[in-house]
Structure 1
Amino acid sequence: MQKKNNVTNPAAAHLVTDQKTLDELVERLSRESVLAFDLEADSLHHYTEKVCLIQVSSTSEDRLIDPLAPIDVKVLAPIFANPAIKKIFHGADYDMRSLYRDFGIEVVNLFDTMIASQFLGESEFGLAALLKKRFGVELDKRYQKADWSKRPFSQEMLDYAMKDTSLLIELYRQLEAELKQKGRLAWVEEESELVAGVRSPSREGELMCLRFKGASKMKPRELAVLEELLRFRDEKARLADVPPFRILSNDLLRELAEKQPRNNFELVGIHTMSSKLIERLGRGLLQAVANGLAVPQDKLPQVHSGRRPVLDRLQDERVKRLKVWREAKSAQLGLGIGLVANNTLLEALAEPGSQNITLLKRWQREAFGDELASLIS
């Protein structure tokens, strides 16, 4: 393997900001059999999040691509779609959503090193922990929450970004060899393939309060008030170009929805409402509360509790037996119980007369499908 000159000195990595350089890079990358990628975004700093940096490493070079420069990032699409090139990501779920959302890019032949480490039974599977354990490399956490939309980049930010992919191919090779030894490589490839197809769901026409954490415990009238408060916060965030949580916290919105203040005096009574916040947003908040209180009774939002359906006695007993089996299988395989089988799957398998063994993934059928089929028959 050709050794990269800049693995030990990420500061030497080149930042790609023009189309000619990008086109030349794409031509070189197209000849590779394995590439490592990572993305940096600005979701903590702007209302509409976007990809602000694309890191890519081959066995011979590390590069940083600036998608905010006047370049066409979509020239990378054929590389991502090429099944002959293995694409290495760590914790790829967010990256898959972002690449498709911003550029319409789909990824074929993905290998997720976070999933791989989980299937090897690693107790810590974050990238920083893995790089420290396997290579003695420390990642500087100062830039994890940085605003990557700002230009120019500091040299320290470039160094940080490059470390995310400079050792990812070597990490992949170590994990792949260990997975082959355990007979689990196909398991990780299947899970990675599923992650590659993940897309952000459309929220069009959906009430915002229905996806608010803790909504299932709130009363319908409180939900109506909460919906108006969320709309108010969202509009303020859009105008200020900041994430909604920077306008008002979820905890404060929940308290406002429950206490439903009608005037400034009642706003002052909410201990987390500062005088500055009341001066800046008080009128709008009171109007939002009033709008929620004015929603007719038959138009109040209804949210499902999210609780699992009550099981009949037979099914409940079968679920308990399956959970005992799962604990033992988890210990035997050295995998987290959630990887072996989640509760939704166990409840489906526990249905009397169930043929839901077909719900198992290929690797689950291979690893314990016959055992499960015998257990539930």
Structure 2
Amino acid sequence: MTMITTTDQLEQAVAALSQSDFVTVDTEFIRETTFWPELCVIQLASPDHTAIVDALAPGLDLAAFFRLMADEKIVKVFHAARQDIEIIFHLGNLIPHPVFDTQVAAMVCGFGDAIAYDQLVQRIVGAQIDKSSRFTDWRRRPLSEKQLDYALADVTHLRDIYLHLKASLEEDGRTDWVLDEMKILTARETYDMHPDDAWKRLKMRLRKPVELAVLRSVAAWREREARERNVPRGRVIKDDAIYEVAQQQPRDAEAMSRLRTIPKGWERSSMATGLLNAVNLALDLPKEDMPRLPKSVQSPEGAGAAAELLKVLLRLVTEEHGVAAKVVATSDEIDRIAAEGDAEDIPALQGWRREVFGEKALQLINGELCLKFENKKIRAVLWPAE
């Protein structure tokens, strides 16, 4: 297999691939030492054509590839699409559409939570993938035939997997379930996070408004710093340090030097100046402008026990419907249902999830449904008993 290295070759490949109503897509990238992933290889396949693109080739214009990703007539098929879409969004400022994620579809079809690609290949196609090239440095050139074969297998087997899952979804009447998931996966806000919202990705260990204000400000500073310097967030400051800074709220270098999570001498660096500015900016906010803990974290008495019962119910209904629990409701959503009840912004209480799980979950916490252990099995029954 020869890699595509010129713009003309890419244009020709895209023209051939565009004759199909779907194309399978995968990318190989490196991001261990950078904030933004470095795209190295693009793999593409349709029923009749395959292509491997050297994304690092000098002078290569990826416009044709981005045009393919934006073509509304062609379904773009990925497995575990999020990181691939993130790269495409960063480099091309576009979200591929329409998209079909086989990992999500597999969860809806009962293949378990977040099944790996090689396992899906084995179960659906009956083939084994040689994983010896899994940890290839995709920046090195030339790539061997073995490495190219490994990369190509990520999209050739994906064709059969897509057709199998698509047919299964249509047979079971679950195509719309996956389409709902794809709306979230292809939403621009999924990838275009504002730095001021970076704190929401951290585990909520703090409760006081002033602590949350510092957490928000420092997380936003770190996000901007990491993007500008193109380094991982942890290279700027680690999460544990952000939590300690939010709790201790140092206003100057001397106070910062006493923090356990701050390396010795770091408080005299230019980075420390930016961090202190972020802390002081938060501490100087009026109290009414400081964030408050989400309601779901301020759980009422008994919500913890209710959440445990909801988890049992979730397992019960997902086994009954042959769908992975992870795609129906997350742990955070379970906690929110237990604490808040029928809140309109909880995904597990919307669309098909409400039909499968949400209605029963609300009945359970409202005392209208009970879990009954009978003949060594748990059943959900209406209360009072029918």
Structure 2 length-normalised TM: 0.69
The offset of 1:207, in angstroms, is 6.2
Aligned amino acid, residue 47 of structure 1: F
Query: What aligned pairs does 1:188-267 form with structure 2 within 5 A after superposition?
Result: 188-191=177-180, 193-195=182-184, 197-200=186-189, 202-204=192-194, 206=196, 208=198, 210-211=199-200, 213-215=202-204, 217=206, 219-222=208-211, 230=219, 237=226, 240-259=229-248, 267=257
Corresponding residue SS for 1:171: helix
Q: Equivalents in 1 of 2:127, 2:39: separation in Å? A: 28
Corresponding residue SS for 1:36: strand
1:283 is matched with 269
CA distance 1:192–1:161, shift in 2 (3 Å): farther
- Structure 2 residue runs of 5 or longer lacking an equivalent are 369-386
1:169 is matched with 159
- Does structure 1 residue 111 correspond to structure 2 residue 100? yes
Corresponding residue SS for 1:135: coil
Tell me whether 172-181 or 88-97 shows the greater mean CA deviation. Answer: 172-181
The offset of 1:219, in angstroms, is 4.6
The offset of 1:334, in angstroms, is 2.2
Corresponding residue SS for 1:15: coil
The offset of 1:37, in angstroms, is 0.4
CA distance 1:176–1:233, shift in 2 (3 Å): closer
The offset of 1:167, in angstroms, is 1.2
The offset of 1:319, in angstroms, is 8.9
Confirm or deny: 8 A CA contact 2:196 2:216 kept in the other structure.
no
2:135 is matched with 143
Q: Equivalents in 1 of 2:48, 2:153: separation in Å? A: 15
Question: Of 24, 36, 55, which aligns to 1:36?
Answer: 24
- Does structure 1 residue 306 correspond to structure 2 residue 294? yes
1:99 is matched with 88
Aligned length: 352
1:36-66 deviations in whole A, cap 9, x for unaligned?
A: 1012344433234454432102234432223
1:46 is matched with 34
Q: Equivalents in 1 of 2:234, 2:85: separation in Å? A: 24
Confirm or deny: 8 A CA contact 2:39 2:87 kept in the other structure.
yes
Aligned amino acid, residue 61 of structure 2: D
Aligned amino acid, residue 151 of structure 2: A
Corresponding residue SS for 1:206: helix
Tell me whether 109-118 or 72-81 shows the greater mean CA deviation. Answer: 72-81
Query: What aligned pairs does 1:117-132 form with structure 2 within 5 A after superposition?
Result: 117-123=106-112, 125-132=115-122
1:27 is matched with 15
Confirm or deny: 8 A CA contact 1:225 1:288 kept in the other structure.
no
Confirm or deny: 8 A CA contact 2:20 2:46 kept in the other structure.
yes
Aligned amino acid, residue 89 of structure 1: F
Question: Of 69, 89, 110, which aligns to 1:80?
Answer: 69
Q: Equivalents in 2 of 1:43, 1:54: separation in Å? A: 15
1:2-35 deviations in whole A, cap 9, x for unaligned?
A: xxxxxxxxxx2x3212111011111211222332
Q: In angstroms, what is the RMSD of aligned CA positions?
A: 4.6
- Percent identity (aligned): 20
2:378 is matched with none
- Structure 1 residue runs of 5 or longer lacking an equivalent are 1-11
Corresponding residue SS for 2:9: helix
Confirm or deny: 8 A CA contact 2:211 2:246 kept in the other structure.
yes
1:7 is matched with none
